[in-house]
């Protein structure tokens, strides 16, 4: 039977319930002060204190070896922690990128010294990482990037500009992709390399970019002869493209690709019941949302299983992100449809605060981590259409 | 376990080969004209697949719903014009109730009938596929809060023939005081009777039909030339088909999910799984049929083209055994009743205790 994708189911073992309950109890406590807007930020919310606490509980770098400050727990255990955090919109941004992307990259590609230095800090919630890929002229066409690393005595000099770098102004380290070989015109995917960059190095200028919500969570980062020592090259020189692409498979299938708006649903249900609007329409719309979410979670779990088994389900991950983004982008609309919420943000009313923030934020969901069009291109290619 | 996997794989492969060889547009057209595909049915029964779900002690293969899911999906992938899934489901229920399984194709009722003190069954079934051509229907009757599996003779029932989108023979059944041919206990069946099971079957069939539609679209995209190149080279077409692929993948996962829930043996699980799958499959079918007809242009809506055999079945199955809207409402009501604090817990399905 020909089916073009693989989604073998993965069942979470019952033993993980204990962990789930622990995380839930912790979050019930920690969340008492969060506003609607805080909750709306979810995995982009940056809160060092919170990350330190999560680190103390052993919930960052969970799967990493103990000698690097990890906890040698399973990917499934990590998954449970991740989805519990997202279900309540916890502010995990200060450790998220390190835990999800940079740490695993260093484990696979980093030198022993890099691992020993950075992994324990990430796991404790002490080192915040940002991702330096996009540039003003290189978004979807990322491999056309021009920022350059030039060899000098004992290391490299970085020059150029990165943009849209989430939380760069708050982070300690950037993993940046720079051109080390020939120009983009001749060596597009070749000649790119990744570097660990100390965000306090001289020559780095971080300029906040205010977005439509009135906040400035991403930035433009300018590099003016920034020195990076030799031992901060990640992996092999010229292999940066393959390394960065592998990172993306992890990024694209995780619960943060369909749960960003989930925290809207419970308060919306409360409001509907309070206003006695939990009628047939509301039941149907809520039910649709539940069905879609359960199926997406099954797909995401399946991909986790495949990654754990050492496969690289790039096509499946692209499918999940595309479906997931569409799903989470619909959520504020769903609430508007059912509740007739006015376009007013009332910080004392959790639902209005959360809805206001998310309505303004959801357009980014099908941009970040690869646009919908790029993902559909990947899917079409996998189907043999390109 | 690995032995089961083997039987299931072999069965799937055999059925796929049989369907690929035997099911043509001519066979579909004949079935829709009211000619039962007797030759095809004989080959199917010869393979023993109709009793695949029946436990070994009752003479079946003892496979689980998860094991037979690929075969049920094939019924959709080939738009098999025979009640194979229905018969498997009926046989499984008869065997579970300790009843004998007639060696003929069987219809399945998603309604719950009433059983009176004299042991007679009454009820209404708005639409039963295949009923006009079959001898028996299997369903659930309730008396004093207890469910029973019943085998009824269709000749004993007033059957009013209906027209449907898929044009397979179907009827409305008015059951009035009919004495069952056989009756037995139904321990694994909840208050919704066989509706969740039929909804699951239809969901898995829909996943198969979507899979076929996706394959047809990819093939057409690579062969139909306009403006000097295959239309699949146009990004607009690529993106439509990519979206179709997303729905197809979700459909497959949803159908299998529902089978896994039935396999736990807990009626509430079977109901939840069916509700999730039927709801998700309904929206997938709606979007997928629109995309497929767009990709195929005018040729896709012609009678000569095979596409409509799949799109019409998707529209049919979408409505049977509870539409996506009805099941969504069921899910939504349950969620409201449990309260917002339980929503995540119910979605995560990991706190059953
Ligand atoms: C909230 C947010 C956070 C982000 N955080 C980071 C970060 O931390 N680090 C980082 O490096 N980047 C980050 N990004 C950048 C993000 O990865 C890019 O926005 C994204 O890759 C798209 O690039 P672009 O914005 O330049 O759009 P463009 O590439 O200019 O695209 C514009 C439009 O053209 C379409 N398009 C482009 N090429 C094609 C094509 N071949 N076929 C069809 N359509 C095409 C796109 O889909 C899009 O609709 C973030 C973005 C957002 C919104």
pLDDT for B154 beyond 70? yes
**Per-residue pLDDT at A2:** 59
Tell me how many degrees the CA angle A255-A261-A265 measures, rounded to the nearest 5: 115
Q: Looking at A251-255, B151-155, B197-201, which range is the least confident one?
A: A251-255
Enumerate the β-bridge partners of residue A209: A218
CA of A371 to the centre of ligand 1 (A): 6
Q: Which fold has domain A252-383?
A: Butyryl-CoA Dehydrogenase, subunit A; domain 3 (1.20.140)
Predicted complex ipTM: 0.94
Average pLDDT, chain A: 95
The pair of three-digit structure tokens given for residue B9, joined into one six-digit string: 């794989």
DSSP A13: P
**Per-residue pLDDT at A314:** 84
Enumerate the residues of chain A whose CB falls inside 8 A of the CB of residue B346: 290
Based on the fold, state whether residues B136 and B205 are members of the same structural domain.
no
Counting beta carbons within 10 angstroms of the beta carbon of residue A70, is it exposed (0 to 12), middle (13 to 18) or buried (19 or more)? buried
- Find out whether the beta carbon of A165 lies less than 6 Å from any atom of ligand 1: yes
Based on the fold, state whether residues B239 and B154 are members of the same structural domain.
no
Touching check for A319 and chain B: CB below 8 Å?
yes
**Which among B343, B333, B191 has a CA at the least distance from the CA of B267?**
B191
- Find out whether the beta carbon of A367 lies less than 6 Å from any atom of ligand 1: yes
CA of A175 to the centre of ligand 1 (A): 18
Domain limit, last residue, from B126, B156, B185: B185
pLDDT for A179 beyond 50? yes
The answer to whether the predicted template modeling score (pTM) of the entire model surpasses 0.80 is yes
The pair of three-digit structure tokens given for residue A96, joined into one six-digit string: 């998220």
CA of A136 to the centre of ligand 1 (A): 10
What distance in Å separates residue A155's CA from the closest CA in chain B?
Answer: 43
**Per-residue pLDDT at A307:** 85
CB atoms B250 and A380 under 8 Å: no
* Spatial separation of the C-alpha atoms in residues A201 and A238, rounded to whole Å: 23
CA of A218 to the centre of ligand 1 (A): 13
List Cα–Cα distances, A231 to A194, A222, A380, in angstroms.
12, 22, 40
Name which residue sits closest to atom 43 of ligand 1, judged by CA.
A373
Based on the fold, state whether residues B26 and B109 are members of the same structural domain.
yes
CB atoms B242 and A322 under 8 Å: yes
The residue whose two tokens read 């065997």 is: B95
Domain limit, last residue, from B136, B167, B185: B185
What distance in Å separates residue B39's CA from the closest CA in chain A?
Answer: 23
Q: Looking at A164-178, A239-253, A351-365, which range is the least confident one?
A: A239-253
- Domain housing B281: 194-350
* Spatial separation of the C-alpha atoms in residues A384 and B4, rounded to whole Å: 34
pLDDT for A267 beyond 50? yes
Domain presence at residue B104: yes
At B231-278, the pLDDT tens digits run 999 999 999 999 999 999 999 999 999 999 999 999 999 999 999 999
Mutate to test the pocket of ligand 1, among A146, A325, A371, A385 (most ligand atoms within 8 A of CB): A371
DSSP B88-114: HHHHHHHHHTT----SS-EEEEEEEEE
The pair of three-digit structure tokens given for residue A93, joined into one six-digit string: 């941004």
* Spatial separation of the C-alpha atoms in residues A18 and A80, rounded to whole Å: 10
At A318-351, the pLDDT tens digits run 999 999 999 999 999 999 999 988 899 998 999 9
Touching check for A270 and chain B: CB below 8 Å?
yes
Domain presence at residue B1: no
Tell me how many degrees the CA angle B101-B79-B173 measures, rounded to the nearest 5: 50
CB atoms B331 and A83 under 8 Å: no
Average pLDDT, chain B: 96
Average pLDDT over residues A175-186: 94
Share of chain A above pLDDT 90, in %: 89
Touching check for B348 and chain A: CB below 8 Å?
yes
Q: How confident is the model at residue B5 (pLDDT cuts 50, 70, 90)?
A: low
Q: Which fold has domain A131-239?
A: Butyryl-CoA Dehydrogenase, subunit A; domain 2 (2.40.110)
Average pLDDT over residues A263-274: 97
CB atoms A376 and B253 under 8 Å: no
pLDDT for B192 beyond 50? yes
Give the A:B interface size as CB pairs under 8 Å: 183
At A352-363, the pLDDT tens digits run 999 999 999 999
CA of A140 to the centre of ligand 1 (A): 5
The pair of three-digit structure tokens given for residue B145, joined into one six-digit string: 């809060």
CB atoms A284 and B325 under 8 Å: yes
Q: How many domains does chain B have?
A: 2
Domain boundaries of chain A, sorted by first residue: 15-127, 131-239, 252-383
**Per-residue pLDDT at A311:** 85
What distance in Å separates residue A47's CA from the closest CA in chain B?
Answer: 24
**Per-residue pLDDT at A164:** 97
The pair of three-digit structure tokens given for residue A306, joined into one six-digit string: 């495949």
At A67-81, the pLDDT tens digits run 999 999 999 999 999
Enumerate the residues of chain B whose CB falls inside 8 A of the CB of residue A351: none
pLDDT for A249 beyond 70? no
The residue whose two tokens read 């449990």 is: B338
At B73-96, the pLDDT tens digits run 999 999 999 999 999 999 999 999
Based on the fold, state whether residues B118 and B18 are members of the same structural domain.
yes
At B31-78, the pLDDT tens digits run 999 999 999 999 999 999 999 999 999 999 999 999 999 999 999 999
- Find out whether the beta carbon of A139 lies less than 6 Å from any atom of ligand 1: yes
CB atoms A291 and B16 under 8 Å: no
**Per-residue pLDDT at A170:** 98
**Per-residue pLDDT at B1:** 43
CB atoms A287 and B336 under 8 Å: no
Touching check for B249 and chain A: CB below 8 Å?
yes
Q: Looking at A368-372, B112-116, B329-333, which range is the least confident one?
A: A368-372
Q: How confident is the model at residue B353 (pLDDT cuts 50, 70, 90)?
A: very low
pLDDT for A29 beyond 80? yes
pLDDT for B4 beyond 60? no
CA atoms within 13 A on the CB side of A282: 24
pLDDT for A165 beyond 80? yes
- Find out whether the beta carbon of A368 lies less than 6 Å from any atom of ligand 1: yes
Based on the fold, state whether residues B115 and B208 are members of the same structural domain.
no
Q: Which fold has domain A15-127?
A: Butyryl-Coa Dehydrogenase, subunit A; domain 1 (1.10.540)
- Find out whether the beta carbon of A134 lies less than 6 Å from any atom of ligand 1: yes
Based on the fold, state whether residues B175 and B48 are members of the same structural domain.
yes
């Amino acid at each position: 039977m020909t089916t073009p994708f693989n989604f073998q189911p993965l069942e979470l073992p019952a033993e993980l319930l204990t962990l789930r309950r622990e995380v839930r109890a912790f979050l019930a406590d920690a969340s008492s002060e969060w506003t609607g807007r805080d909750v709306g930020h979810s995995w982009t919310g940056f809160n060092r204190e919170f990350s330190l606490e999560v680190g103390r509980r052993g919930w960052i770098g969970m799967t990493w070896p103990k000698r690097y400050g990890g906890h040698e727990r399973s990917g499934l255990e990590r998954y449970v922690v991740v989805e519990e955090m997202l279900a309540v919109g916890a502010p995990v941004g200060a450790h998220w990128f390190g835990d999800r992307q940079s740490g695993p990259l260093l484990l696979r590609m980093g030198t022993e010294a890099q691992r020993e230095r950075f992994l324990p800090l990430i796991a404790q919630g002490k080192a915040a990482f940002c991702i330096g890929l996009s540039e003003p002229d290189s978004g979807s066409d990322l491999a056309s990037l021009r920022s350059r690393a030039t060899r000098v005595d004992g290391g490299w000099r970085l020059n150029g500009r990165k943009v849209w770098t989430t939380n760069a102004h708050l982070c300690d380290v950037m993993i940046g992709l720079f051109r080390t070989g020939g120009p983009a015109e001749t060596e597009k995917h070749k000649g790119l390399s990744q570097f660990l960059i100390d965000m306090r190095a001289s020559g780095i200028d971080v300029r906040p970019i205010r977005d439509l919500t009135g906040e400035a969570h991403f930035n433009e980062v300018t590099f003016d002869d920034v020195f990076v020592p030799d031992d901060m090259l990640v992996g092999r020189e010229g292999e940066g493209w393959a390394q960065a692409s592998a990172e993306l498979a992890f990024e694209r299938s995780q619960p943060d690709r369909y749960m960003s708006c989930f925290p809207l649903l419970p308060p919306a249900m409360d409001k509907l019941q309070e206003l006695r609007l939990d009628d047939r329409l509301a039941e149907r719309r809520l039910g649709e949302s539940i069905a879609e979410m359960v199926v997406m979670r099954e797909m995401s779990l399946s991909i986790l299983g495949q990654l754990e088994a050492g496969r690289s389900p790039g096509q499946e991950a692209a499918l999940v992100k595309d479906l997931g983004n569409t799903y989470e982008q619909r959520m504020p609309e769903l609430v508007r449809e059912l509740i007739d919420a006015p376009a007013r943000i009332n910080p004392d009313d959790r639902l209005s605060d959360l809805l206001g923030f998310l309505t303004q934020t959801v357009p980014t969901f099908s941009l970040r981590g690869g646009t919908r069009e790029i993902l559909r291109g990947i899917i079409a290619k996998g189907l043999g259409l390109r | 376990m690995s032995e089961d996997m083997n039987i299931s794989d072999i069965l799937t492969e055999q059925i796929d080969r049989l369907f690929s060889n035997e099911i043509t547009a001519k066979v579909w057209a004949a079935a829709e004209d009211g000619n039962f595909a007797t030759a095809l049915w004989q080959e199917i029964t010869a393979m023993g697949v109709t009793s695949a779900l029946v436990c070994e002690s009752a003479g079946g293969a003892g496979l689980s719903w998860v094991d037979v899911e690929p075969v049920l999906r094939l019924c959709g992938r080939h738009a098999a014009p025979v009640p194979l899934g229905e018969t498997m489901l009926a046989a499984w229920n008869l065997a579970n109730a300790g009843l004998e399984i007639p060696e003929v194709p069987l219809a399945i009722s998603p309604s719950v009938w009433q059983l009176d003190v004299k042991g007679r069954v009454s009820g209404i079934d708005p639409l039963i596929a295949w009923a006009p051509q079959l001898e028996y229907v299997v369903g659930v009757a309730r008396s004093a809060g207890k469910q029973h599996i019943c085998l009824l003779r269709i000749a004993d029932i007033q059957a009013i023939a209906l027209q449907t989108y898929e044009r397979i023979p179907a009827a409305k059944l008015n059951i009035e005081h009919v004495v069952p041919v056989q009756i037995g206990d139904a321990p694994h069946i909840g208050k919704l009777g066989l509706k969740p099971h039929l909804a699951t079957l239809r969901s898995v069939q829909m996943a198969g039909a979507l899979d076929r539609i996706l394959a047809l679209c990819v093939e057409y995209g690579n062969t139909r030339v306009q403006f000097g190149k295959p239309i699949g080279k146009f990004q607009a077409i690529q993106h439509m088909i990519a979206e179709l692929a997303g729905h197809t993948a979700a459909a497959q996962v949803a159908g299998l999910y529902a089978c896994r829930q039935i396999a736990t043996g807990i009626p509430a699980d079977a109901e939840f799984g069916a509700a999730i799958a039927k709801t998700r499959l309904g929206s997938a079918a709606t979007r997928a049929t629109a995309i497929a007809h767009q990709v195929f242009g005018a040729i896709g809506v012609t009678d000569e083209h095979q596409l409509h055999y799949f799109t019409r079945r998707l529209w049919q199955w979408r409505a049977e055994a509870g539409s996506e809207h009805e099941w969504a409402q069921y899910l939504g009501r349950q969620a409201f009743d449990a309260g917002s604090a339980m929503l995540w817990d119910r979605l995560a399905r990991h706190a059953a205790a």
